[in-house]
Amino acid sequence: MKQRGFTLLEVLVVVFIIALTTSLAVVTLGRDDQTQVDQQARQLLEDFTFARDLALNQHRLVGWHVQEQGYYFSIRDSRGVWQKYTTRGLPERPWKQGVRLAEKPEGLEGEEGGDAEEVAQPSLVFFPSGEVTPATLTLMLGDTQRQVRLQAQSYELLDLGDGN
């Protein structure tokens, strides 16, 4: 009498193929526009928190500079000059895969520095008291948006509703 069925090896191969396909599907689905915008917004909040802590600990003004391709931070030296500040904690960051700032909110237009060692006036300033220039920033990717609001000593991610 001959028995029918699958060998253990055949079952393991099928389970491996299913697991591989599932993991690829999860990675692919995780790259939708909303996920990209949310990741960028969370990174921005982390960087803003780090900048606030730096301003508090160093008792100096810390600035945030927005560019078309990304953003960076600066610190104001004892002469009152803004110097680019890049460390492992606050590196110059590009916008993630197509995410961009919708528009510079009113009052966030930085000015160009006077000489080569100076950088532009920052769009946002983090004060040694822990406060920040109040602003609401809108990040976009396609039709997807997410807002980051900064006021006094609180930073928050705003849900725009309607699937955005």
Please tell me the pTM assigned to this model: 0.71
Annotated domain spans of the chain: 33-158
Cα 39–Cα 144–Cα 121 angle in degrees, nearest 5: 65
* pLDDT at residue 30 in the model: 52
Of the pLDDT bands very low, low, confident and very high (cuts 50, 70, 90), residue 31 is: low
pLDDT at 50: 94
- pLDDT score at 164: 41
Confidence (pLDDT) at 105:
52
Six-digit token pair at 49? 């928190």
Task: Identify whether the C-beta of residue 94 lies closer than 8 Å to the C-beta of residue 55.
Answer: no
The string of pLDDT tens digits covering residues 53-108 is 999 999 999 999 998 889 999 999 999 999 999 888 899 999 888 888 887 655 45
133 contact partners, CB below 8 Å, separation of at least 6: 107, 108, 123, 124, 125, 150
The top-level CATH class assigned to 33-158 is alpha beta
Of how many residues is the chain composed?
A: 164
